[in-house]
Amino acid sequence: MTGLKNNLTTVDANVLLRLFLNDELIQAKKATVWLARQPASTVLVTDSVLVEVLFQLESKRAYGIERANFMPRLGRALSATAWLLHPVTLEALRIFAATKLDYVDCLLAAMQASGDVSAVATFDKGLQKQLGEAALL
């Protein structure tokens, strides 16, 4: 984790889910009070945690919520000042909200859109469509 500031904290998927859904009141309250105390841009939201969160929100084995019903609100929740999201993550979330791609594919598309990579080698038809000419194979 070199290159990260040591005053950053990060958050696990269970905390993010409780904060967002409030389906377990004690944990949600505890998480809210904690987050409210964090200075601006000091709580890193990692892509690996977002993979879990987005999967559980959509999974029928967990919450089973339609993407269109949670994404605008999740985006708003992630606009709280304490969160710190990488620009590629923000672009991946934008793609996730606008498509049916899973979040990992959205991350690859966001890396390409942000210029981090010029192309993506993939057999995934949905991702190929998103990437256009930047899709290889």
Partner 1 sequence: MKTVSLTSKNQVTLPAAQVRQAHLKKGTKFTSRWDGKAFILEPEQPLEEMLAEIHAEMRPFIKKPLSDAELQAALHDWPKK
**Cβ-based neighbour number of residue 36 at 10 Å:** 10
Q: Decide: helix, strand or coil at residue 9.
A: strand
* DSSP state at residue 117: -
Considering only 8, 48, 59, 129, the residue that binds partner 1 (CB under 8 A) is: 59
Burial of 74 (0-12, 13-18, 19+ CB in 10 A): buried
Interface with partner 1 includes 35 (CB under 8 A)?
yes
Nearer to partner 1, 80 or 134 (CB): 80
Amino acid 118 reads: S
Min separation Cβ 109 and partner 1, Å: 19
Residues 61-80 that bind partner 1 (CB under 8 A): 61-66, 69-70, 73, 76-77, 80
- What is the smallest separation between the CB atom of 80 and partner 1, expressed in angstroms? 5
Q: For residue 43, report the phi and psi dihedrals to the nearest 5 degrees.
A: -115, 105
- CA dist 67 and 79 (Å) reads 18
Q: Between residues 56 and 122, which has the closer beta carbon with respect to partner 1? A: 56
Q: Is 125 in the site for partner 1 (CB under 8 A)?
A: no
Residue 84 as a binder of partner 1 (CB under 8 A): the answer is no
- Part in contact with partner 1 (CB under 8 A); list of ranges 3-11, 19-27, 117-125, 127-135: 19-27
Buried residues in 48-70 as b, exposed as e (16+ CB within 10 A):
ebbbbbbebbbeeeeeebebeeb
Q: Give the footprint of partner 1 on this chain (CB under 8 A).
A: 13-14, 17, 19-24, 27-28, 32, 35-36, 52, 55-56, 59-66, 69-70, 73, 76-77, 80-82
